[in-house]
Amino acid sequence: MKAHAVRVALFAAFSAATLGLAFAQDPAPAAPAPVGSDQLPVPEAPAVTGTAWLLMDYATGRVLAGENVDERVEPASITKVMTSYVVAAEMKAGKISADDDVMMTVNAWRTGGAGTDGSYSGFEVNKTAKLVDMEMGMTVQSGNDAAIALAEHIAGTEAAFASLMNAHAARLGMKGTHFVNATGLSAPDHYSTARDLALLGRALARDFPEHYAYNAIKEFTVGPITQRNRNVLLWRDKSVDGIKTGHHSGAGYCLMASAKRGDQRLISVVMGSTSESQRAADSQALLNWGFRFFETHQLYGAEEPVATQKVWKGQSNELALGVAEPLLVSMQRGQYARLQPSMDVPRTLVAPIARGEAVGKVRVMLDGKLVAEAPLVALEEVPEAGFFKRLWHELLMWWQSI
């Protein structure tokens, strides 16, 4: 069954109700699908070496597979994805610009520069560089010095910048995360989870695609030093365009990767792996498994009419219903035709009804399990009718109730 057929079936189910009675009716069953690999059970996700890992569908945020997804882990340099997010948010708000001169302070150089054990960008101490170059040094080269310099430029101190990071984390629903620095260097009370980091990567790609795109750059030069992006998947898989590696003794080897094939994007997170090669191999295996066995569909677009419902005592006798945001589902490949949509609506809709007002729900089931739901909203305003029409409808409603 094609997408249009599912929509038609759902519309028919809704229209079958009389006088606005609540119902939940399934569409007609689809014709049996031919036997093939897409009708077989999905094999288990590849084995992953690490303390926590997951694979997430970008469009829906559904976790397709994972282990210890909400366990606290040290995020290492994946922290810098949140630093990038804050930089992008501050730039969008007009508080900073790409042409700002950012100082590589003594503190940033001593804490994250060449004299430390961590990754660095190589900007000269007590000299400035353009903000966009400093962001490249942080994103492509994973420069701790650049991350600290950006934090100081935006918030005065790295500690103050961390408060911005935590505010954004709370807004994004990162419930198991707390930041104390902009770099990911090991520190007490600096932690996250595999799920939260996937949500963060999803948010960066969704909210700030231009800044997200920096993660696909394979190398960047500061002065005489050219450094390669540590995400080796950028060279191995042309569909991979991010996101960030991380490593220190407490965190192990970490990688948050993302790839887009066709219209589908997946995000993998591997934390606490044993080596650089192992984190890359496991991430590649997860992405290949996800793209092979899962797909994402948009059932309804935002404010696309889904059904029409009778309205009493209104200037209009009917009301178009739809969803305020696109309704998406992630599922095993080959299962789309088995979706069973239904609707719950009030027994009676009475004007006035405001545009955007929630008047019920649409639910989508697969094998008896809920896979998606969204509020049904009024796609138009229905003002109250005049006195005589309201009186007439009142009589009709009374007559039909006896």
Residues marked active site are found at 77, 80, 142
Closest CA to 378 of 302, 321, 317, 304: 321
Q: Are 385 and 351 in contact (CB under 8 A)?
A: yes
Q: How far is CA 237 from CA 77, 233, 270, 292, in A?
A: 22, 6, 17, 15
Q: Which two three-digit tokens encode residue 161? A: 């910048």
Instruction: DSSP letter for 36, please.
Output: S
Residues forming a β-bridge with 297: 329
Residue 218 and residue 51: Cα distance in Å, rounded? 28
For residues 36 and 18, give the distance between their C-alpha atoms in angstroms, rounded to a whole number. Answer: 41
How far is residue 360 from each of residues 276, 308, 310, 344, 346, measured CA to CA in Å?
50, 12, 13, 5, 7
**CA geometry: angle 36, 40, 43, nearest 5 deg:** 130
Which phi and psi angles does 254 have, rounded to 5°? Answer: -125, 150
Instruction: Report the SS3 class of residue 80.
Output: helix
Gyration radius (Cα) of the chain, Å:
26
Whether 376 and 323 have beta carbons less than 8 Å apart is answered as yes
Place of tokens 């109700």: 17
**In sequence order, what are the beta bridge partners of 260?**
265
**Residues making up the chain, counted from first to last:** 402
How many CB atoms lie under 10 A from the CB of residue 8? 14
In one letter, which amino acid is 252?
G
Q: How far is CA 121 from CA 137, 138, 229, 256, in A?
A: 5, 7, 11, 21
